[in-house]
Amino acid sequence: MKKLLLLAVMLWLAACGNGADESGAENPEEQNEETTESHEGETQSEEEESSMTASELLDESSSAWGDTVSYEARQTSTISSGESQYVFRTITTRSEADEIKVEVDDGEEIKTHYIVEGEHFIYQGNNTEAQDAPREIDGSEYGALISGLEPYREGTVTEVESGYELRYTMDGKEGAEPFLDDGMAELLDDVDTFSGQVTLQFNDEFQYTEAKFTLTVGSGEEEVNIISNITMDRIGEVDRIEKPKNM
């Protein structure tokens, strides 16, 4: 199960591409299990096929917002297997300066990571603790997140009331190939079933504003399901992040 869970989480992190590695989701089996009802976002009631391709949509988004740095992303993720379910939430705030804040709520406690000019701090229970290892935040800029959407160029685009919706379906192991490096590809050898879908939302100004990821990985009688919803706002509007007084 651990190997299957590891593959599912690694694929999910690669598909999300939003810096979720600060959350500790790479080891969800070490967290307390939680049973909860997941709420899926409502689909736009009116949509029509767009003449714009997914590749064109991503080019437009990159052209308009590729140099943008700051944003705030809110993500709720559910990892389930059998009767076990683990839910965690993150709020990631990237400022125009060389700093990022990631608040993690695993249902048991809230822990906030700060990376400021390469220095890593963890704030919890009114205490701030400096970490020994420095951390870099290259690739966390809003424009870099758009660049990370490259694998979805083969998706399909529909026009919705708010702008555009891009859907990408992973049907079978070959659907995961754009997200895999050599080490991860070997993990697929023991996988019997694999499926997933990614839905990306862009507004009429081509801002990337929302995402929903669903992923199912199975081996034998074991199966892992992941559902993740992301909303993004304050795009290009965060000058500095709020930090504890003693930091």
pLDDT tens by residue, 1-55: 566 666 677 667 667 764 434 444 444 444 444 434 444 444 444 566 778 999 9
Q: Identify whether 132 is part of a domain.
A: no
pLDDT at 153 > cutoff 60:
yes
The structure's pTM equals 0.84
Predicted confidence at residue 3, as pLDDT, reads: 61
Closest CA to 164 of 61, 12, 17, 40: 61
Predicted confidence at residue 185, as pLDDT, reads: 67
pLDDT at 62 > cutoff 50:
yes
Q: Identify whether 22 is part of a domain.
A: yes
> Domain total for the chain?
1
177's tokens: 């190939």
* Bigger pLDDT: 93 vs 244: 93
- How far apart, in whole angstroms, are the C-alpha atoms of residue 52 and residue 36? 38
Mean pLDDT of 142-164: 94
B/e letters for 29-52, b = 16+ CB within 10 Å, e = fewer, are eebeeeeeeeeeeeeeeeeeebee
CB count, 10 Å around CB of 88?
Answer: 22
Mean pLDDT of 44-71: 88
B/e letters for 155-176, b = 16+ CB within 10 Å, e = fewer, are bebebbeebbbbebebeebebb
pLDDT at 243 > cutoff 50:
yes
Mean pLDDT of 72-89: 91
pLDDT at 190 > cutoff 80:
no
CA atoms within 13 A on the CB side of 225: 9
Predicted confidence at residue 107, as pLDDT, reads: 87
Q: Identify whether 80 is part of a domain.
A: yes
* Bigger pLDDT: 190 vs 229: 229
Share of the chain above pLDDT 70, in %: 79
Q: Identify whether 165 is part of a domain.
A: yes
User: 116, 95 in Cβ contact below 8 A?
Assistant: no
Q: Identify whether 105 is part of a domain.
A: no
Predicted confidence at residue 192, as pLDDT, reads: 81
Predicted confidence at residue 4, as pLDDT, reads: 64
Q: Identify whether 239 is part of a domain.
A: no
Q: Outline where 1-158 has alpha helix (H).
A: 2-16, 54-65, 142-147
CB count, 10 Å around CB of 108?
Answer: 10
Q: Identify whether 100 is part of a domain.
A: no
- The pairing of strands 163-171 and 110-116 is unpaired
Q: What is the domain extent for residue 78?
A: 2-87+139-233
Q: Identify whether 16 is part of a domain.
A: yes
